[in-house]
Amino acid sequence: MIHPQKDMFNNDAHQAIRDLFIEKRKKLGLSQKDLAIQMKLDFSYINEIESTSGNIDFLDMQSFCDALDISLTKLESIFKPNSLF
């Protein structure tokens, strides 16, 4: 049995969030290394998140939103159709 919360982060909404983060990073003219420095994270973590091999927890999503100037409302709109609540 798949845990519903874990599955929530491995579905189409999760990929949409990855795509949003990548698109916004590129629009801001930031490399993965630039973003890693700004977020005080290891470059390999940014690469892992963007390459779909890494999971993103809520606090990291919030950090990405802050660093990329993405409103949590925008992020919520991605999850709303798939909401478990």
Q: Which of 7, 9, 5, 3 is nearest to 52 (CA)?
A: 9
85 is a domain residue: no
Count structural domains, the chain: 1
Low-confidence ranges of the chain (pLDDT < 50): 1-9, 85
pLDDT of residue 68: 94
Residue 84 lies in a domain: no
Model confidence, pTM: 0.75
Range list of H helices, 1-85: 4-8, 12-27, 32-39, 43-50, 58-68, 72-79
Which domain range does residue 16 map to?
A: 4-78
DSSP 51: T
